[in-house]
Structure formats: structure tokens, C-alpha cells
């Protein structure tokens, strides 16, 4: 059962299903703490991580099934050759078609990668991501109803870019709207404290601070990638290397959030994509 909890000062705290008690480890945001082995192959990086027993995941990215640039196949090829990840979630807006296509492709190709079925759901209150889904979650519900719908099918729910409040344009889809302080009253399993989209440092700092003070939810870093080069710029580490290990790590709060910088060429590619998308639809979704 989900209940509201309050801390000693009487403030309402987050009510994730496996909320840690005061003093328990919460994971960490390591803004610049992770160095990806540049020049090393995906296979080498993966072998190293398996020896160390700590995997790497990026749990928020988009394909042509919503507002992303790469097809599912292009995205998978980038990940297995360049991004050095063990687990990803494809989280297109309001659809799981891309992530199901990825699973079909993986069953035919010999990629050493696990893909979690995910969806970035447009709730009435802002964006909310479901992971480990079995079926699509309908958009347009309240955030609380959406969290319940995700949990009802055995999934996990996290708040992406909670303190990003992009401008809403009449008649356009919700554009990168986070849940803000609503995060504190929802039965979330985790919160995205690093969204590696360029220029979100202020919103990320606010998410880290709010989580540390009011929520103490397990932390995730993601790329929210809309172009291949973005994928892996934000990543979550966890004990183990499989999707099942990741599920357990989120439930027990054993994740840590990391980011790596965009190179100049990658940043320019991102800005080019962002500009062309904005001119097409009047604002990038997030």
C-alpha cells in the first residue's frame, strides 16, 4: 500500500515504493566522475565492467517512433559500437512501438545488449517514464494515475527532468515539462537527477537538491538522447550487468548517476537537430 510520509519537520517526503530510511545510501551524482574509455571498444568496456561487477545503463532516449532522429536500428548500431552500455531503455513519447521493434531486432542480431520496454508518458501534470512495461500506458491521465498504471503491470516509474518547465505552446504536444515538486507526493521508484541534454545544468542541480532534501529516491542519469551521439552522455551504474540486476538496484537504491561531456562536434550536431526539429513542429519535446 502506498502512504504519504512526512519527515521530522513535518514536510511531505517522497513516497517511492521502496523508499530508503534516513541514513541509508542513496547513490550519488557524479557529474564529472566517470570517464568512458575513449578509443576502447564496446566489447572491451563491457568485459571490464563484468569483471568489476558494475553495469552501465541509459534509460531515456528517443527514435523516429516519436521525436528522435535515429531509426531503432541506427540507434542500436550506435549503442553496440560506440556507447559502451549494457542496458538501455527506448522511451519514445506515448508509444512502446520502437522499444518492441528493438527487442525483435535484438532477437535476430547478435548484439550483446538488453533493451527494456519503456515509454515517456505525457501525463496531465508533465512527463513521466515507465520502465519494464508489458503494454503501452495511455497518455492524458494524472501523474498519480499514471504511476499506478505503470505499477499495475509490474513496471517502475521515474520522473524525467523534474525541474524543467519548457514553454507550452497551444495546440502542440507537452514540451519537456517536468513534474516539479509533485515528485514529492508520488509513489515513484526513482528520479532523474542528471538529464544530459545540453544546458540543463540548473534544472539538474535543482533535481539533485530537491531529491536530497525532500525525497531520497534512487537516482538515475540519462541522455534523453534524440540523436545517436547523445546516447550514453548520461548513464546510470548499478551492481551487476543485466536488466534484472538493474531492476533490483533501482528497488534497493543502489544506483549512481554519471555524465560525460559532449565533444564540440557532437554538441553542434545536437544543436543542428534541435533547430531543425523546432522549425518543423515549433518546439522540441523532451
Chain residues binding Zn ion by CB under 5 A are 120, 127, 160, 176, 224, 286
- Quote the least distance from Cβ 39 to Zn ion, whole Å: 29
By C-beta, is 27 or 286 nearer to Zn ion?
286
Hey, what's the cell of 109? Answer: 542480431
**How far from 138 is each of 70, 93, 183, CA to CA, in Å?**
24, 11, 20
By C-beta, is 127 or 216 nearer to Zn ion?
127
- Quote the least distance from Cβ 224 to Zn ion, whole Å: 4
By C-beta, is 86 or 120 nearer to Zn ion?
120
By C-beta, is 196 or 215 nearer to Zn ion?
196
By C-beta, is 27 or 283 nearer to Zn ion?
283
**How far from 219 is each of 14, 96, 180, 202, 236, CA to CA, in Å?**
13, 23, 16, 17, 8
Q: Which residue is nearest to Zn ion (CB)?
A: 286
Q: Are 191 and 183 in contact (CB under 8 A)?
A: yes
Helices (H), 11-164: 42-52, 72-78, 97-108, 143-152
Q: Are 164 and 178 in contact (CB under 8 A)?
A: yes
Return the bridge partners of 114, or none. 87
- Quote the least distance from Cβ 127 to Zn ion, whole Å: 4
Where are the strands (E) in the chain, listed by range? Answer: 5-6, 12-13, 29-30, 54-58, 87-90, 114-117, 119-123, 126-131, 156-159, 190-195, 219-222, 234-239, 256-259
By C-beta, is 43 or 271 nearer to Zn ion?
271
Hey, what's the cell of 95? Answer: 508509444
- Quote the least distance from Cβ 93 to Zn ion, whole Å: 7
- Quote the least distance from Cβ 240 to Zn ion, whole Å: 25
- Quote the least distance from Cβ 105 to Zn ion, whole Å: 21
Between CA 280 and CA 195 the distance in angstroms is 24
Amino acid at each position: 500500500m502506498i502512504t504519504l510520509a512526512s519527515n521530522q519537520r513535518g514536510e511531505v517526503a517522497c513516497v517511492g515504493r521502496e523508499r530508503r530510511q534516513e541514513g541509508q545510501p542513496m547513490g550519488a551524482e557524479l557529474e564529472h566522475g566517470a570517464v568512458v574509455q575513449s578509443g576502447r571498444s564496446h566489447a572491451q568496456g563491457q568485459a571490464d565492467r563484468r569483471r568489476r561487477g558494475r553495469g552501465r545503463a541509459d534509460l531515456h532516449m528517443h527514435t523516429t517512433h516519436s521525436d528522435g532522429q535515429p531509426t531503432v536500428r541506427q540507434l542500436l548500431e550506435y549503442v553496440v559500437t560506440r556507447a559502451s552500455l549494457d542496458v538501455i531503455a527506448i522511451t519514445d513519447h506515448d508509444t512502446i512501438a520502437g522499444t518492441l521493434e528493438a527487442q525483435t531486432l535484438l532477437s535476430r542480431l547478435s548484439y550483446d545488449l538488453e533493451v527494456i520496454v519503456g515509454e515517456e508518458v505525457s501525463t496531465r501534470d508533465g512527463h513521466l517514464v515507465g520502465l519494464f512495461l508489458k503494454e503501452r500506458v495511455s497518455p492524458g491521465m494524472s501523474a498519480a494515475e499514471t504511476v499506478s498504471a505503470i505499477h499495475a503491470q509490474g513496471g517502475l516509474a521515474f520522473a524525467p527532468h523534474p525541474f524543467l518547465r519548457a514553454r507550452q505552446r497551444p495546440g502542440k504536444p507537452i514540451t519537456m515539462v517536468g513534474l516539479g515538486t509533485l515528485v514529492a507526493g508520488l509513489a515513484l521508484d526513482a528520479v532523474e537527477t542528471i538529464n544530459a541534454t545540453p544546458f540543463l545544468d540548473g534544472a539538474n542541480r535543482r533535481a539533485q537538491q530537491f531529491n536530497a532534501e525532500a525525497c531520497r529516491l534512487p537516482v538515475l542519469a540519462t541522455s534523453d538522447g534524440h540523436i545517436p551521439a547523445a546516447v550514453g552522455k548520461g548513464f546510470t551504474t548499478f551492481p551487476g550487468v543485466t536488466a534484472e540486476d538493474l531492476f533490483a538496484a533501482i528497488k534497493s537504491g543502489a544506483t549512481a548517476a554519471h555524465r560525460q561531456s559532449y565533444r564540440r562536434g557532437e554538441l553542434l550536431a545536437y544543436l543542428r537537430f534541435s533547430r531543425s526539429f523546432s522549425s518543423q513542429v515549433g518546439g522540441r519535446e523532451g
